[in-house]
Amino acid sequence: MVDRGLLYREWKQNQVVILLSIVFLVLANPLSIVNTYLSYQGCFDRLDPQYCDFIVNYSISNLIDLNWVPGVILAVCFLGMERSKGTMDFILSLPYNRSHIFQTKFWLGSFVIVLSQLIGFLLAWLLILVYSPVHVYYFEHSSVGVIVISFMTYSLVMAAGALTGNAFAQLLTAFSAAILPYLMIALPIINLEIVFNFHIYEFFSSIKGYYELENKFMYLFPFVYVGNDWIFDNGFILLIPAILSILFYLIGYISFKKHPSERNGYFFIWKRLDRPVQILVIIFGILGFGLFGYSAGHSIIGYIFGMIFGAVVGFFVSYFSIYKKTKN
């Protein structure tokens, strides 16, 4: 599944990025504990000691909230930058099949992301034992959740890299996929509310558990996990990013394996995606700018002008992004 020769090649090619990712992911969790402890010590200089308590609370934003960032960087270096620089052609010319190439890249990054954070979790746990805070909130739930979410983010960007022909296209596709449920469901519903002058919640507000179901629905959006609101919910919520990770891995693996024709510099590797995606971009441009035009003046005229402007913007953005070849 993972070839040693390819593994060595990836290590030499991305050594600096891999080492920096390991250092950040290992230290992020324990440094959050140290920072909280230093803030506790500084409290004695400002307030009476009876008002100073050493409390570790992971529901408050801290350094591990950024642990998804190294996954994005690694995925771009492994696929997007290789395609942008043209070095992917050299890798594909080596005596390895495409399955081995993708598996090696994917699992090397996965190993870095997961193992580094597990070490960081262990170091943070030891610091908690040493410092003995009065209360510790959401430590295990947050630490494990961030590992799952960072792996999901890495899988998403790797899948986008398997479908696209350069680093910019990879990042844009990954971001679009992260908000795709909103674009496909919420954006059309909001536009229907404007056109027909109704509110969707009026039809479902009487249904028992509607608002709870609506909140749970938001967890289908990968970008929701960038924040830490998920910490306050049931631990089973993390099954969603875990399942999404598997889905993104399969999409990336199948795409990399089944689309052998390289289109150097083009947005998508698979040419058949060009037209459907362009149509979607234009539609989202119409709906998005229409909504913006309506919100600016709360008038149908503004809504119509916004839709026209969105159609023009969507066409040109999609045309120059998808159909124009970038230089390697």
Tens of pLDDT, residue by residue over 69-126, are 999 999 999 998 888 887 887 888 888 888 889 999 999 999 999 999 999 999 999 9
User: According to the 3-state scheme, what is the secondary structure of 231-276?
Assistant: HHCCHHHHHHHHHHHHHHHHHHHHHHHHCCCCCCCCCECCHHHHHH
User: Is 315 in contact with 282 (CB distance < 8 Å)?
Assistant: yes
Domain count, the chain: 1
* Matching residue, tokens 């179901």: 213
Q: From CA 160, how far away is CA 221, in angstroms rounded?
A: 16
- Sort 195 into a burial class: Cβ within 10 Å, 0-12 / 13-18 / 19+: exposed
Q: Is the pLDDT higher at 299 or at 201?
A: 299
pLDDT single digits (tens) 175-201: 989 988 888 888 888 888 787 777 766
Phi-psi bin for 97: left (phi > 0), alpha (psi -120 to 50), beta? Answer: beta
Q: Which two tokens stand for residue 94?
A: 């080596």
Q: CA of 135: how far to CAs of 40, 57, 265, in Å?
A: 13, 8, 54
- Torsion, CA 62, CA 28, CA 142, CA 244, rounded to 10: 110
Whether 186 is in a domain gets the answer no
pLDDT at 328 over 60: no
Average pLDDT of every residue of the chain: 85
Q: Helix 68-75 and helix 139-163: axis angle, to 10°?
A: 20
Q: Which two tokens stand for residue 178?
A: 């992260």
Whether 227 is in a domain gets the answer yes
Q: Which residues pair with 135 in a beta bridge?
A: 55
pLDDT (average), residues 311-328? 81
* Matching residue, tokens 């909140």: 215
- How much is the pLDDT for 89? 79
Domain of residue 246 covers 1-166+221-264
- How much is the pLDDT for 203? 61
Whether 214 is in a domain gets the answer no
- How much is the pLDDT for 1? 65
Q: Which two tokens stand for residue 183?
A: 């674009």
Write out the H or E segment, with its range, that includes residue 73: helix 68-75
- How much is the pLDDT for 17? 95
- How much is the pLDDT for 73? 96
Q: Which two tokens stand for residue 322?
A: 């998808």
Structure confidence at residue 50 as a pLDDT band (50, 70, 90): low
Most confident of 13-17, 289-293, 324-328: 13-17
pLDDT single digits (tens) 150-172: 999 999 999 999 998 888 889 99
- How much is the pLDDT for 293? 85
What is the DSSP-derived secondary structure letter of residue 2? -
Whether 98 is in a domain gets the answer yes
Whether 228 is in a domain gets the answer yes
Whether 315 is in a domain gets the answer no
Structure confidence at residue 301 as a pLDDT band (50, 70, 90): confident
- Residue of 241, 290, 105 whose CA lies nearest to 313: 290
pLDDT single digits (tens) 216-239: 677 888 888 888 888 887 778 899
User: According to the 3-state scheme, what is the secondary structure of 163-214?
Assistant: HECCHHHHHHHHHHHHCHHHHHHHHHHHHHHHHHCCCCHHHHCCCCCHHHHH
Tell me the residue type at 9: R
Whether 49 is in a domain gets the answer yes
Sequence-distant (6+) residues with CB within 8 A of 116 are 21, 22, 25, 26
Helix (H, G, I), strand (E, B) or coil at 132: coil
pLDDT single digits (tens) 253-278: 999 988 766 677 788 888 888 888 88
